[in-house]
Amino acid sequence: MTTIRRVLAVLAGTGLVGSVLCAGAASAATQGKIYISNNCGKAVSTTIHRTDGSMIAGTGAAPAGSYFGYPVNPGTYQVRVPAGNRNVRILDLGGKAHSVIVKAC
């Protein structure tokens, strides 16, 4: 397990919903990630939407205890999980990846 995955697993396991900064190589197309942590104890539906409502990622049955990450460009997104809709913002940090973790329940 990589160090980044360990950090994300710990943050998700402790129930923290927030931002994680990870150093990345500078590029014109820097993307962040939206991670969804399924801490519900059962499979649940999770989706990520643009502000216009169009779905860009999701699953009908994310397994219990899982988390998945989806690369996105800087901007605002809506994450729809059983705990309710969460608006998240991915920042452009000049060559560093900005990631957000959202708990499903």
pLDDT in tens, the chain (105 residues): 444 444 444 444 433 344 443 434 434 467 899 999 999 999 999 999 999 999 999 888 889 999 889 999 999 999 999 999 999 999 887 777 789 999 999
The amino acid at residue 24 is G
> β-strands 97-103, 19-22: how paired?
antiparallel
**How much of the chain, in percent, has pLDDT values that exceed 70?**
72
List Cα–Cα distances, 10 to 7, 53, 57, 98, in angstroms.
5, 31, 24, 17
Return the pLDDT at 86: 94
Residue 63 DSSP symbol: P
Can you give the pTM of this predicted structure? 0.68
For the chain, percent helix, then strand, then coil, each to nearest 5? 10, 50, 40
Are the CB atoms for 63 and 69 separated by under 8 Å? no
pLDDT of residue 35: 94
CB 48 within 8 A of CB 57: yes
Residue 28 pLDDT: 46
Instruction: Please state the separation of Cα 96 from the chain's center in Å.
Output: 16
